[in-house]
Amino acid sequence: MNAMPPKDNTLSRRSFLGWLVKGSLAGSVLLGLGMVGRFISFQSEQSPPSQYDLGLATHYPIGSRIPFTPAQAFIIHNNEGYRAISLVCPHLGCIVNVTGDGFTCPCHGSSYLPDGSLRKGPAARALSPLRVEANEEDHLILYTD
């Protein structure tokens, strides 16, 4: 009987290169998928919402004057109802400060009366009015568009 030749367990050069090719291709696919995933999942800057829920209308009693910072707005409730005005200065777009006697722009000094009308420039017009309405649940909804 002829003896069987011993089994060669060592990896041949051809096999090694074959595995290396497969590994490289698999790695490339994974890295490529990672890049594609990263590209697809990129979150561009969100546009600000055009309406905001200000909460229950009862939180804004008659006579109240309450800033709403997320929308850069100011909510006024007087005998005529609810009003909202934008805190963005119509001159160049700075956010006006609320002062004891109205509003003042910290950038260029425009000044507004408590109802938002223009007291002095350089702005040429009053603070912009915004729409505010109560919904069925008696929540105030502010519209900024």
Binding site for another protein (CB under 8 A): 17, 20-21, 23-25, 27-28, 31-32, 34-35, 38, 44-45, 88, 91-95, 106-109, 111, 119-122
| 65-68 and 81-86 beta bridge pairing | unpaired
Partner residues linked to 139 by β-bridges: 56
Give phi and psi for 125, each to the nearest 5.
Answer: -150, 175
Q: What letter would DSSP give residue 11?
A: P
Q: Name the token pair of 17.
A: 């290169």
Minimum distance of another protein from residue 93's CB (angstroms): 4
In the chain, the amino acid numbered 74 is: F
Least distance to another protein, CB of residue 38, Å: 7
Select 55 or 67, whichever has its Cβ closest to another protein.
67
Closer residue to another protein, CB minimum distance, 60 or 112:
112
Residue 34, Cα to own-chain centre: how many angstroms?
26
CB of 131 to another protein, least distance (A): 20
Which residue's CB is nearer to another protein, number 70 or number 106?
106
